[in-house]
Amino acid sequence: MSSSPIQSDFILPADLFAPEAIPPSSSNFDDAIKAAMASVPKWHEVGNGEFPFKPVRLDCATDIHIPSRQPGRCITCRLLRPQTTENTVNGVFVHIHGGSWPMGNAGDQGHWLQGIADTAGLINVSVGYRLAPEHPGPAGDEDCFDVAEWLVLHARDRFHADLAFIGGESAGGASQPADRAVPPLPRERRDQELPALGGLILLFGCHDLGSTPSQIHHRSAMTDGKGYAKELELSNLYRPGVFGDAWKNPRISPLYADFESCRNADGRSTRLPPALFIVGIKDFLLDDTIFMSAKWQMAVGGVSAAVSKTAAAPIARIKLLLQNQDEIIKAGRLSRKYDGILDRFTRTIKAEGVLALWRSNGVNVIRYFPTQALNFAFRDTFKSIFAFKKDRDGYLKWMACNLASGGLGGATSLLFVYSLDYAWTRLANVAKAAKGTGERQFTGLFDVYKKTLATDGITGLYRGFGPSVLGIVAYRGLYFGI
């Protein structure tokens, strides 16, 4: 049996990135900000708290002190509650302010956060994390992590609501590396059932401190005539002594985190929460957001695949039953042919119930994950054996290497997972006995294995393997080769 590639829902409409897509109001607002910024002293001239503007102080804001991992020290956070007449609290939102790590404070986004509190019914906790250069990283990251962990454990007792969202902008949008997006529970609390994080809200986050192309182009434009750009010093203030590939440490640049390690043991779910990525098309952190959102989509792709296969399961089963109805009639498990797809749906639901449309879907989902993993693993193994390089051996040999590696990888992986494919097909083709006894030929996956091994031996599980190999060699060869 062959399968078609999963279609991603990660789409970048090209028209959104065209200059004419920017509304005049946005362009005017951007120009006004640039003019205002040009008229104030630079951050390296006046220091934090004065650049670019003094923090906003709201009368409704209060401070909360959350314990740090350091004994005797607390992290001061700004607390904003809903001020509407209902005062409904739906959850807690942890906000991590921007400022490129040496600048900003928990009161910078007071009006915006109060709007979120009133509109969404969220209690906002803005983290007053330690700033560079007095406190270089990972000091600030640890403060953000400690606040989130404390709220995971204590928000319900303190605010009668659970931690729902974590978010921030710029530097604050990069303070949650993928492998720390959901703080781990202390050992003594890991047996408790706590609600999952609702999601991350990351606005123009800096996910690669080693510089993405959009960062590099922006810095070139910001460099003055003397070749001097203070923007280059911000990262070094946050992480002094870090050079070259050291910036790719996932604890520094979240883009390089091992997203696969976030997948749960079942392989079908991930502990990564949903994430909303927001960025302007002229933002110098545009590439950071594009790259990170793509990685996030890939990390949860296994879950998407399981959902997509489950959604399409009724169609897949109906297709198999229509293709094999003659054999099913000969076996005495079907009284007459189907009159089409609608008749098949109607008769299946009437005889077996709605859930029968998803019969064998569990096996289909299970077989997907090892199939994909083995395809890529064996493809890379064969590719390293051939070891053709386009620039050294020429395009034709390199292309032949890709075709052969993909085809052999698919054939080898099929050797390991074909029995699951066989079992899925047999279960999907099972219909209740035509005489109304309600009996089935197979009751489940293990019953297929048991009965097939008893009657035909191990070779029975590989019935039809030859044609399947030919199909997968052609499919995977072209899939990876072109």
DSSP string of 20-31?
A: GGS-HHHHHHHH
Neighbours of 81 (CB within 10 A): 18
Strands 199-203 and 122-127: unpaired
Confidence of residue 183 (pLDDT cuts 50, 70, 90): very low
Per-residue CA distances from 402 to 4, 383, 385 (Å): 19, 7, 11
State whether 243 and 390 are in the same domain.
no
Confidence of residue 272 (pLDDT cuts 50, 70, 90): confident
CA 244 to centroid of chain Cα atoms: 27
Stretch 198-217: mean pLDDT: 84
Domain count, the chain: 2
* Amino acid 191: pLDDT: 39
Residue 46 and residue 40: Cα distance in Å, rounded? 10
Residue 200 and residue 468: Cα distance in Å, rounded? 43
Q: Summarize pLDDT for 359-387 with one digit per residue, the tens.
A: 666 666 666 656 666 666 676 677 778 77
Stretch 25-54: mean pLDDT: 67
Give the highest mean pLDDT range of 109-113, 174-178, 266-270.
Answer: 109-113
Give the highest mean pLDDT range of 103-112, 300-309, 436-445.
Answer: 103-112
- The answer, yes or no, to whether residue 405 has pLDDT greater than 60, is yes
Neighbours of 362 (CB within 10 A): 15
Per-residue CA distances from 28 to 10, 34, 180 (Å): 30, 10, 38
State whether 338 and 460 are in the same domain.
yes
CA 339 to centroid of chain Cα atoms: 43
Neighbours of 311 (CB within 10 A): 11
**Residue 222 CB contacts under 8 Å (≥ 6 apart), including other chains:** 229, 231
Neighbours of 423 (CB within 10 A): 24
> How many CA atoms lie within 13 Å of 93's alpha carbon, on the beta-carbon side?
25
Least confident of 50-54, 160-164, 258-262, 345-349: 50-54
Residue 117 and residue 88: Cα distance in Å, rounded? 10
State whether 158 and 178 are in the same domain.
yes
* Amino acid 476: pLDDT: 63
- Domain-embedded: residue 167: yes
Q: Cβ distance 168 to 205 under 8 Å?
A: yes
- Domain-embedded: residue 14: no
Q: Cβ distance 54 to 104 under 8 Å?
A: no
Which is more confident, 312 or 177? 312
- The answer, yes or no, to whether residue 478 has pLDDT greater than 70, is no
Which residues are 67's β-sheet partners? 74
Stretch 426-433: mean pLDDT: 62
State whether 289 and 315 are in the same domain.
no
Nearest to 128 by CA among 149, 104, 151: 104
Q: Position of tokens 């110098």?
A: 284
Confidence of residue 193 (pLDDT cuts 50, 70, 90): very low
Domain end, chosen from 259, 279, 299, is at 299
Residue 460 and residue 481: Cα distance in Å, rounded? 32
Q: At residue 401, what is the residue type? A: C
∠ CA 201-183-147, rounded to 5°: 75
Q: Summarize pLDDT for 104-157 with one digit per residue, the tens.
A: 888 878 888 888 888 888 999 999 999 888 888 888 888 998 999 899 889 989
Confidence of residue 430 (pLDDT cuts 50, 70, 90): low
Six-digit token string for 239: 């992480």
Residue ranges making up the domain that contains 222: 40-299
* Amino acid 467: pLDDT: 80
State whether 284 and 404 are in the same domain.
no
Domain end, chosen from 263, 278, 299, is at 299
State whether 365 and 339 are in the same domain.
yes
Confidence of residue 89 (pLDDT cuts 50, 70, 90): confident
* Amino acid 72: pLDDT: 93
Q: Summarize pLDDT for 63-75 with one digit per residue, the tens.
A: 999 999 999 999 9
Six-digit token string for 250: 């996932």
Helix (H) or strand (E) segment spanning residue 79: strand 74-80
- Domain-embedded: residue 10: no
Six-digit token string for 38: 């040009």
* Amino acid 63: pLDDT: 93
Q: Cβ distance 120 to 221 under 8 Å?
A: no
- Domain-embedded: residue 13: no
Q: Summarize pLDDT for 208-255 with one digit per residue, the tens.
A: 888 888 887 776 555 544 333 455 567 778 888 888 888 888 888 888
**Residues of the chain above pLDDT 90, percent:** 9
Q: Position of tokens 């640890």?
A: 142
Domain end, chosen from 232, 264, 299, is at 299
Stretch 425-451: mean pLDDT: 66
Stretch 446-452: mean pLDDT: 81
State whether 81 and 119 are in the same domain.
yes
**Residue 66 CB contacts under 8 Å (≥ 6 apart), including other chains:** 74, 75, 77, 146, 147, 150, 151
* Cα dihedral 227, 231, 237, 242 in deg (nearest 10): -70
Confidence of residue 456 (pLDDT cuts 50, 70, 90): confident
State whether 257 and 390 are in the same domain.
no
Residue 80, SS3 per DSSP: strand
* Amino acid 310: pLDDT: 56
State whether 433 and 477 are in the same domain.
yes
* Amino acid 313: pLDDT: 62
- The answer, yes or no, to whether residue 201 has pLDDT greater than 80, is yes
State whether 384 and 285 are in the same domain.
no
State whether 319 and 388 are in the same domain.
yes
**Residue 432 CB contacts under 8 Å (≥ 6 apart), including other chains:** 333, 351, 352, 438, 439, 440
* 436 φψ region: left (φ > 0), alpha (ψ -120 to 50), beta (else): left
Give the domain CATH number at 128. 3.40.50.1820
**Residue 209 CB contacts under 8 Å (≥ 6 apart), including other chains:** 174, 235, 238, 239, 242, 247, 252, 253
Confidence of residue 412 (pLDDT cuts 50, 70, 90): confident
